[in-house]
Amino acid sequence: MSVTALFEEWRGITRPEQSWGLAWFLSYEMCKRFHESHGIVPQVIEREGMGYYGITLDRLPCPINGEPKGQSDASIGRFTMGGNAENWHTGSPGDHGCNLVDPCAAGASTESLIASAVSHFRIPPFPLQSHLYCRHKRWGASYVLCFEIATLIALRFESDEIEIRNHPYHTRRVIEQCDPEASMKEHPGAFLFRLRSGGPSVCLVGDGRLLGDSPFNLWQAYMEGESTTILSNQVIQRLGWRGRQKRMPLSGAVLRAF
């Protein structure tokens, strides 16, 4: 099942203003459009110095973007937990300049929600300089796939079941300790999945490698024809999840604040 189809089901069975579903869906749409070409990555934040939750849109360090000199330099803005958009260049943190939660709850089309979010962040359709030789341009499709898998899981499970993190603040140590390719130039980052009931984290590297005793490459499986739904189940199975999904087989899930 595609992210869009799952999001449409999510809209019919939960209250958007009380969940992370809209934020994850819109972040995936931004990642799909701007990760490879612009070096922009959505990253889950948890009290990152400002006491905020949500998903920021950050510039990746690369030859074109340079090395951000701080959070204000790296971040374009964020989606709040509910899914409202904040452009930190035209406004300030806490200024929900684009209300998307209420239109979503009122039944606005999915297409209009996406268009409003993209327009609010004012990212140029084409980068001012080419990222042709940046890693995110050459191999970014695998990271977008990983973000899609994370979004599918976020839409399927509630926060008391599975939490997801991909900000370097949370992933850097795991990468350094567990990834044999940790020293690669412009490392693609990682996603950490963990059951709220406890247990170890599952680490999915941005190039598709699922780390562990039995390594598995989701990108390779995808290129060989596997569906993203089956690939997301690979992550869920490694978590050792034994619960029951709520409401329906592939959705009915909300990821709330960590």
Residue 123: both structure tokens together? 């990212």
What pLDDT, on the 0 to 100 scale, is given for residue 153? Answer: 96
Residue 249 scores a pLDDT above 60: no
Residue 84 scores a pLDDT above 90: yes
Strand order in the sheet with 209-210: 162-165, 190-195, 202-205, 209-210, 216-217
DSSP category for residue 76: E
Residues 255 and 143: their CA atoms lie apart, in Å, by 20
- Amino acid at the residue 254: V
pLDDT digits 0-9 by tens, 46-60:
765 556 789 999 999
Q: Which of 21-30, 153-162, 220-229 has the lowest mean pLDDT?
A: 153-162
- Residue 199: pLDDT band (50, 70, 90) is confident
Q: 17 with 257: CB under 8 angstroms?
A: no
Q: Which of 71-75, 81-85, 95-99 has the lowest mean pLDDT?
A: 71-75
Q: 153 with 228: CB under 8 angstroms?
A: no
pLDDT digits 0-9 by tens, 180-197:
999 998 899 999 999 988
The DSSP-derived string for 171-194 is HHHHHHHH-TTTTSTT---EEEEE
What pLDDT, on the 0 to 100 scale, is given for residue 219? Answer: 97
Which stretch of DSSP H or E encloses residue 6?
helix 3-13
What pLDDT, on the 0 to 100 scale, is given for residue 159? Answer: 56
Q: 253 with 158: CB under 8 angstroms?
A: yes
Q: 168 with 176: CB under 8 angstroms?
A: no
Which stretch of DSSP H or E encloses residue 151?
helix 135-156
Residue 247 scores a pLDDT above 80: no
What pLDDT, on the 0 to 100 scale, is given for residue 91? Answer: 78
Q: How many residues does the chain have?
A: 258
Residue 249's Cβ-count burial label (10 Å; 0-12, 13-18, 19+) is exposed
Average pLDDT, the chain: 87
- Residue 28: pLDDT band (50, 70, 90) is very high
- Residue 234: pLDDT band (50, 70, 90) is very high
Q: What are phi and psi of 103, to 5 degrees?
A: -60, -40
Please report, for the chain, the start and end positions of each structural domain, with discontinuous segments joined by +: 3-238
Share of the chain above pLDDT 90, in %: 68
What pLDDT, on the 0 to 100 scale, is given for residue 253? Answer: 31
Q: Is the pTM of this model over 0.85?
A: yes
Mean pLDDT of 127-133: 92
108 vs 51 pLDDT, higher one: 108
Residue 82 scores a pLDDT above 50: yes
**In this structure, how many other beta carbons lie within 10 angstroms of the beta carbon of residue 221?**
16
The DSSP-derived string for 19-67 is SSHHHHHHHHHHHHHHHHHH-EEEEEEES-SSS-EEEEEEEPPBTTTB-
Mean pLDDT of 33-40: 97
Residue 254: both structure tokens together? 């909300």
